[in-house]
Amino acid sequence: MVEIPAPFDLRMRAVEEDGEVELFVVPAGTSVSEDDIGGFLTIEPPERWRDPRRPVLQIKLPFFLVTDEPCWVTQIPPFLDSAMRSWPGSMSAGRFPLHLWPRSLQWPFEWDDFSRDLTIRTGEPLCYLMCEFGDPGARPDLVEAALTPDLVEYRAGMEAVGEITDDIEGVWREAESRRPKRLLVPVDNA
């Protein structure tokens, strides 16, 4: 299991009025400028919410993972950390094949208690990643990856896939057919 820490401070508020929900960034408690916040924070369209009264937001984290070995990653809430228990909703868990989808990590959050702000502090755990390899005893070895031309091109083909189709599994099959044999090149070897 790998812990993913919050890269910045963020404070948000949800307000419901006449059946409509609006989300606001609260400048006091947020370390990212208003000009930059749109680059990493998105609100999912209501048709993608599980419940029409529970908005879902996504925070694009400033890093991604890549591996050449078959590996499935399950992203789960940081259940061992007390900060998570103060959130006004829940982080949505998910699972994806990392060897086929070297994507930027997203932090999906479903808001259900509008009486409380969402407050995240730099360094607090946002989520855990459980990595599953063919060998049950294998452990991830984290290294900084070089942005090689092959990796840049392959990632570009996967970047907005969630916005284009809900058939993610079909995209994974296509990705597997066009994936270069090697995508992970440690920075030290580049």
| Tens digit of each residue's pLDDT (9 = 90 or more) over 78-89 | 999 888 889 999
Q: Is the predicted pLDDT of residue 104 greater than 70, yes or no?
A: yes
Confidence grade of residue 140 (pLDDT, cut at 50, 70, 90): confident
Looking at residue 122, its pLDDT comes to 95
Element (H, E) at 166: none
Query: Which residue, among 154, 153, 151, 155, has the nearest Cα to 185 in the 3D structure?
Result: 151
Report domain extents, the chain: 2-189
Looking at residue 190, its pLDDT comes to 62
| Tens digit of each residue's pLDDT (9 = 90 or more) over 2-13 | 999 999 999 999
Query: Which residue, among 75, 65, 62, has the nearest Cα to 109 in the 3D structure?
Result: 75
Which pTM value belongs to this model?
0.85
Query: What's the rounded mean pLDDT across residues 125-153?
Result: 91
Highest-confidence range of 63-72, 111-120, 133-142, by mean pLDDT? Answer: 111-120
Strand ranges for the chain from DSSP E: 2-5, 10-17, 20-25, 41-43, 56-64, 71-76, 89-91, 94-97, 104-111, 118-120, 125-133
- Please check whether residue 10 is in contact with residue 124, taking contact to mean a CB–CB distance below 8 angstroms: no
- The pairing of strands 118-120 and 94-97 is unpaired
Per-residue DSSP letter, 49? S
Higher pLDDT, 104 or 184: 184
Confidence grade of residue 162 (pLDDT, cut at 50, 70, 90): low
Looking at residue 177, its pLDDT comes to 84
The percent of the chain in helix, strand and coil, each rounded to the nearest 5, is: 20, 35, 45
Q: How far apart are CA 88 and CA 11, in angstroms?
A: 11
Q: How far apart are CA 3 and CA 53, in angstroms?
A: 30
Full DSSP string of 111-145: E--TTS-EEE-TTSEEEEEEEEESSTT------PB
Share the mean pLDDT of the chain: 88
